[in-house]
Amino acid sequence: DAASRLPWAKRITIALGAARGLAFLHDASIIFRDMKASNILLDK
């Protein structure tokens, strides 16, 4: 349903946050192998 989709700007913000989190883990030599949309937690 198109009405329930997030705007592109919000999607990009979420993706950048996830990428920054993965970079943080990578810098700590931690490999997160189960990256998928259902593993990204959002609050309102």
Return the active site residues.
34
**Which H or E run includes 3?**
none
Please state the three-class secondary structure of 12-25 as a single string. HHHHHHHHHHHHHH
Closest C-alpha to 15, from 43, 4, 28, 42: 42
